[in-house]
Amino acid sequence: MTMPEILKPLKTWEHLSGARRKPSEYEIVSTNLHYSTDDQNSPFELDPNFDIALWFKKYRNESPIKHPDWNSFRDPDEIVYRTYNLIQDGQEAYVFGLLDQFSDREHDKALSPSWVALLGRLYTPNRYLFHSLQMHSAYICQMAQASTISNCATYQTADHLRWLTHTAYRTAELAKVHGAAGFGLNEKNRWLSDPAWLDIRELVEKALVAWDWAESFVVLNLIVKPSIEGATIRSLGESARRNGDTLLGLLSDAQLVDASRHQKWSRALVKKMLEQDENREQLRVWIRKWMPLAKAAINSYCQYLVEVPDAAERSIATVEEFHASLGL
Amino acid sequence: MTILDRSEWYDIARETNWTPTFVTEEELFPEVMTGGLGVTRDKWEKYDEPYKTSYPEYVKIQREKDAGAYSVKAALERNKLFETADPGWISILKSHYGGLALGEYAAMSAEARMTRFGPAPGMRNMATFGMLDENRHTQLQLYFPHEHCSKDRQFDWAVKAYHTNEWAAIATRRMVDDLFLGRDAISIAIMLTFAFETGFTNMQFLGLSSDAAEVGDYTFSSLISSIQTDESRHAQIGGPALEVLIANGKKAEAERMVYQGIAGAWRLFCVLTGPSMDYNTPLAHRKHSFKEFMQEWIIGQFERSLIDLGLDLPWYWDKLVAEFDYMHHAYQLGLWYWRPTIWWNPAAGVTPDERDWLEEKYPGWNDTFGKCWDVIIENVVAGRMDKTYPETLPILCNMSQLPICAIPGNGWNVKDYPLEYQGRTYHFNSEIDRWMFQQSPERYRDHMSLVDRLLAGQIQPPDIGGILKYMNIAPGECGDDAHKYAWADAYRVNPFSKSAA
């Protein structure tokens, strides 16, 4: 046999060594980490056609959204684990500082009965919604075509647990001051049967079972999240400020910092998808398919935010402008 | 200061199950991804994770832990460990990173499966932290070896190994895919967190960490002990899942999952950790033998946790314990003999002093494994190096993907455990491996081992050159003896002292 050339050490991983610049820490620890995408016919070192292998072949490998090099995707914020904790520990210190101060000032005692009732109806049931976003993000994490996409979904999953945590915390606080209002007791019923939530719940239940990985991303990050962020976070926060609930306004703003980071990577991933022109029509098909449910969800919820009369209109417009800005 | 105690709101954050009405329960939690053996979701309301933490606590603690791990690395960057450490130790680092970094990433996907498809909210929240943990472990175990890339091409395998058909990489993928990446959420809770992380990662991480400190590699020591503190938290996802299954009449099925998890993990640790501890770690720095670690960490720990749950010991327990005496010695022979096919430089670990140690820890070693090494030593000493290299592949087990082997020499017990299934004959290393296959043949049926691929003509030309090409391993990466055969000098002086004991 002829001996091949002897490989020399490189300055970085072989797959990054073609670039003209030194790779960043982000690239060193985030790129090319999924190996189950290597053999399209057999995702795992197991039978090529047992049930979970078929799931990955059908919903990931055979997705109508194609790209020859998914591993070229980059998170525009280049978040790595240690920076994620640095950022969010700082954010949580801020939020818990707020919670501490407002509690010392007996903020909740000053809330009007009608606003307290509205919080029980439109705010605290959010924990079911936020948990569904957490679950859904975790699906995208495990099904994504590239580790750089999965990582964005991982941090997004954790961010939604963060939102759920804030909501659970506030639920317990409100229950202490307004025991008769049913905080911590009535949320599930509201979530299941209140007309303010029914259409949102229909949207997220159906979204959770959109199994194609790309459709799952589109419906969560381009439809569900922008819709509910406009309605149950931003518009509710505005309504809060108009009802003397400064705390909820500030909490909402803190969560929207996460949401805008999620939008940044979503925008980058759509851009990556649109490098293949054939993908544009399929993305539009999905947006057309899901927008009616999203609009219904926004309208049903926002009609109860009487102090923000244009909440629904603005929320829908924001979602549509987002899509337009993506070229969809 | 009026911040609520976590206990005042923790339960609210895990009351997030609801019965869907726009899709069915089965659609939302499909059997293929959730698993659970038919235990209905309402029964999972009793699931109670023993280790409780919350988002703000998590990001704070993890931020501090990372500051610790990275600052140790930065502080020690100028020490010359890489230049001065024993080459056997450097080989441990290479095999560790290549074998684990992307496996940790697969574990992140598995944690994500529990976050999406786990039937209990507490499980889903804990698995969210588990996703983050595994993300951390991947990134640490890529960032740390990356600095060595420019010194040694084999470090590229920290990220490359899982992307190749190198045989140890195939065996590692088999274990990772079978125990968690290719499993449903409930099976992951049991096989990954209960079986794999509770026992085995404890050993790889704490055992190697103590060896690392002995060798003076404080960077690696602090790195992997920091990782283990995460593992011991999220490993606790599995225990309460077992309790729910047992309480709902699924004890036998739950036991089977535990048994498969332990058996699968054992094979991998046997080939990676066993030779690391008993051959690659310099003799002066060995604290315990691999067998002693296994007895302390695995046997004691598993027996206690199985008994606590009311589970029986695996049917194969005695057979597995018996393997502590020989299986990793057999794998070590394979690793060293097939050294051009691995991405690290294995230490032979058979100087006269090391043989004395092996004989002391494993009485009878000289009479069995020692006899094979005698032949190798004779060839090395006589300069017949061609006789110390392989010409083709060994017979591989269709379960573990590792060579079928056992005790050579006077203790000979090597045996194939075949099975006919749907017209194909499968070969197994032991009754345990064959039993694993029989539990769910559909998971393994059409998989081909490296030898099956060679025989089917997928590897061309079908010689060692073609095999290396198929494995994507080339000179510059191919392993060779860690000490460049310097250990054989002792035998050159006195060739008859090889069996010192």
Tokens, residue B435: 């039993």
State whether B447 and A52 contact (CB < 8 Å).
no
- Across the range A203-228, mean pLDDT stands at 98
Q: Where are the beta strands (DSSP E) in B313-462?
A: 419-421, 424-426
CA dist A253 and B298 (Å) reads 49
> Helices A81-104 and B121-146: crossing angle, nearest 10°?
130
Confidence of residue B300 (pLDDT cuts 50, 70, 90): confident
The 10 Å Cβ neighbour count of residue B390 is 14
A38-52, B92-106, B194-208, B329-343: least confidently modelled range = B194-208
- 3-class SS of residue B38: coil
Question: How high is the pLDDT of residue B501?
Answer: 41
Q: CB-based contact (8 Å) between A8 and chain B?
A: yes
Residues of B with CB below 8 A from A52's CB?
A: 32-33, 182-184
What local confidence, expressed as pLDDT, does residue B500 receive?
A: 45
Tell me which DSSP letter residue B403 carries.
B
In B189-250, alpha helices (H): 202, 208-215, 218-234, 238-247
- B23: phi then psi, degrees, rounded to nearest 5: -135, 170
Does the pLDDT value for residue B186 go beyond 70?
Answer: yes
Closest Cα partner for A283 from A296, A293, A273, A291? A273
**Cis ω before B418 (30° cut-off from 0):** no
DSSP state of A308: S
Domain interval for residue B387? 46-76+84-497
Q: Are A197 and A297 in contact (CB under 8 A)?
A: no
Distance CA A159, CA A95 (A): 13
* Close Cβ partners of B416 (under 8 Å, ≥ 6 residues apart): B395, B404, B427, B428
> Which pLDDT belongs to residue A1?
47
CA distance B129 to A112: 37
Residue of A nearest to B30 (CA): A209
Task: Tally A–B CB contacts below 8 A.
Answer: 256
Contact B443/A162, CB-based, under 8 Å?
A: no
Q: What is the distance between the alpha carbons of residues A244 and B334, in angstroms, rounded to a whole number?
A: 73
How far is the C-alpha of A173 from the C-alpha of B84, rounded, in Å? 59
Q: Give pLDDT, residue A4.
A: 62
Residues of A within 8 A of B116 (CB-CB) are 135-136, 138-139, 142
Q: How far apart are the first and last CA of chain A?
A: 55
Q: What is the pLDDT of residue B152?
A: 95
Percent helix / strand / coil, chain B, rounded to 5 = 65, 0, 30
As for how many domains chain B has, the answer is: 1
Residue B32 lies in a domain: no
Q: Which residue has the higher pLDDT, A100 or B231?
A: A100
d(CA B436, CA B438) in angstroms, rounded, equals 5
All residues of chain A having their beta carbon less than 8 Å from the beta carbon of residue B170 are 45
Q: Measure the CA–CA gap between B462 and B485, rounded to whole angstroms.
A: 29
In tens, the pLDDT along B2-36 reads 899 999 999 999 999 999 999 999 999 999 999 98
**Most A CBs within 10 Å, among B24, B109, B148, B478, to test the A interface:** B109
Token couple for A55:
């799931």
Does residue B29 lie within any of the structural domains?
Answer: no
A86–B445 C-beta distance less than 8 A: no
Cα–Cα–Cα angle for A37, B115, B447, rounded to 5 degrees:
35
Q: B426: helix, coil or strand?
A: strand
Whether residues A104 and B2 touch (CB distance < 8 A) is answered with: yes
Confidence of residue A2 (pLDDT cuts 50, 70, 90): low
* CB–CB contact A99 B143 (8 Å): no
pLDDT in tens, B149-160: 999 999 999 999
Q: DSSP state, B409? A: G
Distance, in Å, from the CA atom of A156 to the CA atom of A258, rounded to the nearest integer, reads: 8
What share of chain B in percent tops pLDDT 90? 77
* Residue A244 pLDDT: 96
CATH, residue B224? 1.10.620.20
pLDDT (tens digit per residue) in B92-139: 999 999 999 999 999 999 999 999 999 999 999 999 999 999 999 999
Q: Rounded to whole angstroms, what are the CA distances from B149 to A12, B144, B155, B162?
A: 6, 10, 5, 17
Whether the pLDDT of residue B496 is over 70: the answer is no
Other CB atoms within a 10 A radius of the CB of residue A228 amount to: 25
Per-residue pLDDT reduced to its tens digit, A64-93: 999 999 999 999 999 999 999 999 999 999
- Whether B129 and A155 have beta carbons less than 8 Å apart is answered as no
Q: CB neighbours of A151 closer than 8 A, spacing ≥ 6?
A: A30, A75, A79, A80, B135
Mean pLDDT of A209-227: 98
pLDDT tens profile B377-423: 999 999 999 999 998 889 999 999 999 999 998 889 999 999 999 99
> What integer is the mean pLDDT of A199-204?
98
> Could you tell me if B241 and B189 are in contact, meaning their C-beta atoms sit under 8 angstroms apart?
yes
The CA distance from B312 to the nearest CA of chain A, in Å, is 29
Residue of chain A whose Cα is closest to the Cα of B131? A154
List, as one string, the DSSP characters of A17-74. Answer: TTSSSPPPHHHHHHSS---TTS-TT-SSSS-TTSHHHHHHIIIIIT-S---S-GGG--
- Alpha carbon distance A119, A135 (integer Å): 24
CA-CA-CA-CA torsion sign (B336, B209, B53, A125)? negative
Q: Which of A6, A30, A48 sits opposite B446 (nearest CB)?
A: A48
Q: What is the distance between the alpha carbons of residues A23 and A15, in angstroms, rounded to a whole number?
A: 11
Per-residue DSSP letter, B236: G
Domain boundary assignment for chain A = 78-325
Distance CA B60, CA B15 (A): 24
Tens-digit pLDDT profile for residues A113-148? 999 999 999 999 999 999 999 999 999 999 999 999
pLDDT at B497: 54
- The reply to whether B25 falls in a domain is no
Find the largest Cα–Cα distance for chain A: 86
Q: With H, G, I as helix, E, B as strand and everything else as coil, classify residue A190.
A: helix
Mutation for A interface: B1, B63, B402, most A CBs within 10 A: B63
Inside any domain, residue B181: yes
Interface contact flag, B21 A134, Cβ < 8 Å: no
CA-nearest residue to A23 within chain B is B146
CA distance A209 to B30: 9
- CB-based contact A103 B3, cutoff 8 Å: yes
Residue B371 confidence class, pLDDT cut points 50, 70, 90: very high
Closest CA to B168 of B280, B202, B176: B176
Residue B457 has pLDDT above 50, yes or no: yes
Contact between chains at B115 and A36 (C-beta distance less than 8 A): no
Per the domain annotation, does B331 fall within a domain? Answer: yes
Residue A98 contacts B where some CB pair is shorter than 8 Å: no
Q: Into which CATH architecture does domain A78-325 fall?
A: Orthogonal Bundle (1.10)
Chain-centroid distance, C-alpha B182: 16
- CA torsion through residues B53, B57, B59, B63, sign: negative
Phi and psi torsions of B398, nearest 5°: -70, -10
Pair of tokens at residue B446: 């059409």
DSSP-assigned letters across all residues of A281-298? HHHHHHHHHHHHHHHHHH
What does pLDDT average to over chain B?
A: 93
Separation CA A56–CA A49 (nearest Å): 10
